[in-house]
């Protein structure tokens, strides 16, 4: 048993130390053999008083082998189910041993790792921030199928268990202890196995210490069965709330809730078997494939530095200057200070700069009030931000990020005026959402040190940064921007220069198609509801209101000044909407007094009544599916064009960028993965149908036809 070390001491306690051949312990074929052999040996062991499961790795146990899960196909369902049942049978035999079994958790125990812990009678964890405990499978399109749903539900009750299962929460040992997921903590690694042994010796003569609670006669799930009268509200409301949140697009969550509900009413063996059947359906289905591919493999690829020049040494940002203390600038200041970076927040007046710093103060106060940070730490973060209206305070910055209004002349003026404040080896970043970096860099004396760093609002919540390389941007500038993005704990995608880059131009097609549908006569509420039904966070009309119709108008003016027209549509539609909404009726969006919607003091909103007079045609006929496909395919087609023309550098950047930056439906795995799952030939055919019915903007990009001809998916 080379993968598991088996050591029995003089007290009859066996310590099984998991030490698999890979970098981490994981549920693969090596594990299955090692666990099966270990359990068989424990069952035959004479004079056994207890068992401790420990790990020789820094990670206690990493969970399932996602390569195996990714490869599972619907036709493999029966063999996949049988393999899962064999694995779960070993854990069932483990928890039926007539002696206490203790999990000594030295590092992260997530997914399958925590499922092993749940099969033990007692769980002790090293109380350190590096230790995480939980069941994150739902975030990867799966659910805890190794007994996790059944055992956690039976341990703490369905109402308490569901948030940990459905929301993929990761808990520190202290929180896991407080919420009943573990039983004890120790303050040092040296205490861990001795504490586990001490528990065994203190309880070796107590039969109840060797039995799982759900195997004890008369045991009732905490909180009762889901069909009991006191759980009537939970039984009705929980599925409704889940559907509102997932819109029926996350089958793993629906399945997990169903298994959790059944677990409260059935014996453990029956519940485990049901869990296995449901897990097989989910694991061999498309959503799991999409989410594993994107949220694990592609995200790890990006965060691992695949887009970063390998020939440049790591660079740490020490002092960052931020020009413009408005919505974007103040958010960038906050995340930079939270990362321990010295921040100079400059605006045209001291009062404007102070107001920008006050944004960080408000966020830090909230963290203190919630117990997420103490006052001393909050003060130290706030002290890193210097609000100023003086240029000289920027001297020595190794990075300056300009975050002013989208106007080329203004950005050129600021670059020329303040670029000399950079340190000798400093870099300049423009937080622009649409303007070409190559053109912005024309004002720089060192265009090789000029790069686009596009943040998303609100900066403190949005996880993505889009890094844009101009024609003269150097590898050093790209590496600097990449390292800074990782330093502030954001996910970087790297794209090449164009008007709108990737995220803005693709997002723009969603808004544009919503405008097309509106002006054709579709009911505005129907447009927004169907936008949400495909999995977008909000409908295209509502999000246009939030981002501002006025901003769209100004962008159109800027593009016209640059000689660019009709960028993402035929132009006539958006010009008509701008005239109707802004010129004729002064409705520039939510922050300009209202747009497509009217907004009320109590937080409610309704469609602006005049909108129906302007556009709605009751006689207009179009199917729900055509509306959904138009809203989705426009974005997918634009993403494919970005990949085809080299604006996007990788499929991973496309998928992660579309989800984290645009709000692409998570269950699709991103806009390029959507094509893989839809099927290349089927996608080409559907594009043809949409093009014939609604216009050439739905023409299928040639890159799809080439992949289909070669029989290759996008990877």
Catalytic residue numbers read 454
Q: What span, in angstroms and rounded, lies between the C-alpha atoms of 700 and 341?
A: 46
The total of other beta-carbon atoms located within 10 Å of residue 693's CB is 11
In DSSP terms, which residues pair with 185 in a beta bridge? 125
Give the C-alpha separation, 420 to 410, whole Å.
17
What is the end-to-end Cα distance of the chain in Å, rounded?
A: 38
Instruction: Locate the DSSP E strands across 412-569.
Output: 422-430, 450-455, 464-469, 491-496
How far CA 522 is from CA of 75, 530, 627, in Å, comes to: 42, 11, 9
Cβ contacts of 646 within 8 Å, gap of 6 or more: 496
**Angle in degrees, CA 90, 95, 101, rounded to 5:** 115
Q: 178-181: long-range contacts at Cβ-Cβ below 8 A with a sequence spacing of 24 or more? A: 180/155, 180/156, 181/114, 181/123, 181/133, 181/134, 181/152, 181/155, 181/156
In angstroms, rounded to a whole number, what is the distance separating the alpha carbons of residues 671 and 246? Answer: 18
Element (H, E) at 388: strand 385-388
Lookup result for tokens 């962008």: 555
Tokens of 401: 């990020």
* All residues at 6 or more sequence positions from 542 whose CB lies less than 8 Å from its CB, including other chains: 528, 596, 597
Contact 125, 176 (CB under 8 A): yes
Please state, in angstroms and rounded to a whole number, the distance separating the CA atoms of residues 256 and 260: 6
Segment 190-195 long-range contacts (CB within 8 Å, at least 24 positions apart): 192/54, 192/104, 192/105, 192/106, 192/124, 192/126, 193/15, 193/52, 193/54, 193/104, 195/104, 195/124
State the greatest distance between any 2 C-alpha atoms of the chain, in Å, as a whole number. Answer: 89
Report d(CA 503, CA 454) in Å as an integer: 9
**Three-class SS of residue 691?**
helix
Please state whether beta strands 597-599 and 605-607 pair in parallel, antiparallel, or not at all (unpaired). Answer: antiparallel
CA–CA separation, 387 and 304 (whole Å) = 34
Dihedral sign for Cα 172, 177, 182, 184, please.
positive
Phi, psi of 348 (to 5 degrees): -75, -15
Q: How far apart are CA 714 and CA 576, in angstroms?
A: 37
Q: What angle do CA 155, 157, 159 make, to 5 degrees?
A: 145
Contact partners, residue 598, CB within 8 Å, separation at least 6? 605, 606, 607, 608, 609
Closest CA to 400 of 469, 343, 440: 343
Return phi, psi of residue 428, to 5°. -115, 130
């Amino acid at each position: 048993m080379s993968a598991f070390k088996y050591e029995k001491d003089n007290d009859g306690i066996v310590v099984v130390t998991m030490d698999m051949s890979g970098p981490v312990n994981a549920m693969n074929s090596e594990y299955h053999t090692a666990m099966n052999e270990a359990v068989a040996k424990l069952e035959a062991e004479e004079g056994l008083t207890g068992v401790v499961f420990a790990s020789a790795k820094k990670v206690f146990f990493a969970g399932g082998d996602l390569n195996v899960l990714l490869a599972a196909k619907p036709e493999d369902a029966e063999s996949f189910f049988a393999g899962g049942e064999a694995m779960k049978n070993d854990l069932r035999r483990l928890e039926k041993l007539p002696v206490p079994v203790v999990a000594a958790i030295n590092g992260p125990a997530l997914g399958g790792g925590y499922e092993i812990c749940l099969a033990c009678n007692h769980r002790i964890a090293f109380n350190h921030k590096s230790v995480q405990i939980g069941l994150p499978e739902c975030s990867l399109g799966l659910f805890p199928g190794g007994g996790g749903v059944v055992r956690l539900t039976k341990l703490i009750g369905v109402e308490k268990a569901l948030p940990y299962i459905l929301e993929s929460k990761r808990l520190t040992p202290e929180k896991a202890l407080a919420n009943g997921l573990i039983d004890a903590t120790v303050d040092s690694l040296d205490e861990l196995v001795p504490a586990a042994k001490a528990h065994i010796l203190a309880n070796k003569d107590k039969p109840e210490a060797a039995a799982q609670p759900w195997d004890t006669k008369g045991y009732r799930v905490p909180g009762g069965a889901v069909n009991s009268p006191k759980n009537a509200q939970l039984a009705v409301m929980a599925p409704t709330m889940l559907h509102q949140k997932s819109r029926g697009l996350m089958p793993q969550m629906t399945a997990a809730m169903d298994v959790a509900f059944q677990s409260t009413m059935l014996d453990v063996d029956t519940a485990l078997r049901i869990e296995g059947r449901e897990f097989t359906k989910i694991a061999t289905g498309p959503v799991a494939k999409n989410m594993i591919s994107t949220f694990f493999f592609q995200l790890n690829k990006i965060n691992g530095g695949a887009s970063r020049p390998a020939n440049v040494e790591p660079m740490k940002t020490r002092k960052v200057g931020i020009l413009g203390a408005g919505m974007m600038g103040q958010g960038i200041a906050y995340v930079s200070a939270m990362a321990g970076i010295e921040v100079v927040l400059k605006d045209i007046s001291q009062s404007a700069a102070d107001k920008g710093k006050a944004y960080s103060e408000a966020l830090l106060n909230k963290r203190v009030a919630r117990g997420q940070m103490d006052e001393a730490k909050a003060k130290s973060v706030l002290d890193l931000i210097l609000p100023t209206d003086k240029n000289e305070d920027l001297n020595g910055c190794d990075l300056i990020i300009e975050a002013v209004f989208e106007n080329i002349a203004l950005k050129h003026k600021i670059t020329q005026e303040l670029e000399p404040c950079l340190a000798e080896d400093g870099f300049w970043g423009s937080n622009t959402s649409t303007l070409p970096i190559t053109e912005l860099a024309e004002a720089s004396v060192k265009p090789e040190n000029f790069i686009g760093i596009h943040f998303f609002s609100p900066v403190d919540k949005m996880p993505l940064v889009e890094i844009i390389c101009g024609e003269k941007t150097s590898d050093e500038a790209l590496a600097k921007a990449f390292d800074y993005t990782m330093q502030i704990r954001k996910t970087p995608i790297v794209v090449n220069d164009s008007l709108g880059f990737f995220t803005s131009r693709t997002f723009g097609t969603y808004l544009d198609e919503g405008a097309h549908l509106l002006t054709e006569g579709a009911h505005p509420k129907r447009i927004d509801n169907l936008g949400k039904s495909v999995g977008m966070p909000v409908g295209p009309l509502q999000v246009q209101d939030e981002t501002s119709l006025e901003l769209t108008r100004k962008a159109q003016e800027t593009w016209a000044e640059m000689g660019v027209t009709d960028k993402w549509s035929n132009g006539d539609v958006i010009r008509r909407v701008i005239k109707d909404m802004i010129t004729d009726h002064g409705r520039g969006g939510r922050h300009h007094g209202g747009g497509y919607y009217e907004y009320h003091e109590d937080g409610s909103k309704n469609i602006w009544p005049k909108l129906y007079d302007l556009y709605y045609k009751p006689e207009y006929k179009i199917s729900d599916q055509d509306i959904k496909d138009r809203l989705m395919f426009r974005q997918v087609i634009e993403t494919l064009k970005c990949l085809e023309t080299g604006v996007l550098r990788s499929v991973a950047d496309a998928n992660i960028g579309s989800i984290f930056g645009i709000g692409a439906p998570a269950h699709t795995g991103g806009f390029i993965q959507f094509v893989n799952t839809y099927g290349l030939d089927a996608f080409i055919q559907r594009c043809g149908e949409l093009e014939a019915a609604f216009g050439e903007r739905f023409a299928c990009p040639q890159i799809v036809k080439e992949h289909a001809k070669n029989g290759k998916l996008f990877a």
